[in-house]
Amino acid sequence: MIFRLTLRRLRVGLSWAEGKRGEAVQPEVEICAGGVVIKDGKVVSLRRKNGVWLMPKGHVDPGESLEEAALREVREETGLVARIGAPLGETAYSFTEAGVLHRKKVYWFYMEAIGGQLEPEAEMFTAVRLLAADELDTLTFPADRQLAAKAFTLYHRQSKSNSIGNSFKVHLEGD
């Protein structure tokens, strides 16, 4: 029976570890953070080499807060320095790469670009695009479109009240 399960796992590309007595153990969830970045009144989006359009996000380094990780990832992936605001929500997803199952949970933050040069990280992305509210369908994943719409709502609310500076918690200049 264990032999059959092992072959089945290999055939479907799962890479679960063996627990006690041969039962499968799911891989740990990798915690990530990202930013829905507003630049010039539009949302920053990136196109991966596989054609997927998304927003900047990535892993949290040891000792790093979610906010610090989100700001770092935005800078690394877009070249922008951002000011961070309210949390926007969380997403979770999984994928298999090279036979290894990856599970990720992303904590998203509202951000506004305050400096830097908009340029996608060359190793990962082929294009960058600023999306207006009516262009959010460009984003590949529905959860990303919902987060971007939420960010636009917050942006317009803050623009009307003219108190954007008061809503931001963290500001990191270039490292």
| Bridge partner residues of 31 (DSSP) | 105
Q: Which class is 25-163 in CATH?
A: alpha beta
pLDDT in tens, 93-121: 998 989 999 999 999 999 999 999 999 99
Q: Which residues contact 158 (CB under 8 A, 6 or more apart)?
A: 164, 167
% of residues, the chain, pLDDT over 90: 71
Q: Is the dihedral of CA 42, 47, 51, 55 positive or negative?
A: negative
Q: For residues 165 and 159, what is the distance between their CA atoms, to the nearest angstrom? A: 10
Residue extents of the structural domains in the chain: 25-163
pTM reported for the whole predicted model: 0.78
How is 65-133 classified by DSSP, letter by letter? -HHHHHHHHHHHHH-EEEEEEEEEEEEEEEEEETTEEEEEEEEEEEEEEEEE-----TTTEEEEEEE-G
- Is the model more confident about 175 or about 155? 155
- Kindly state the average pLDDT of the residues 155-165: 70
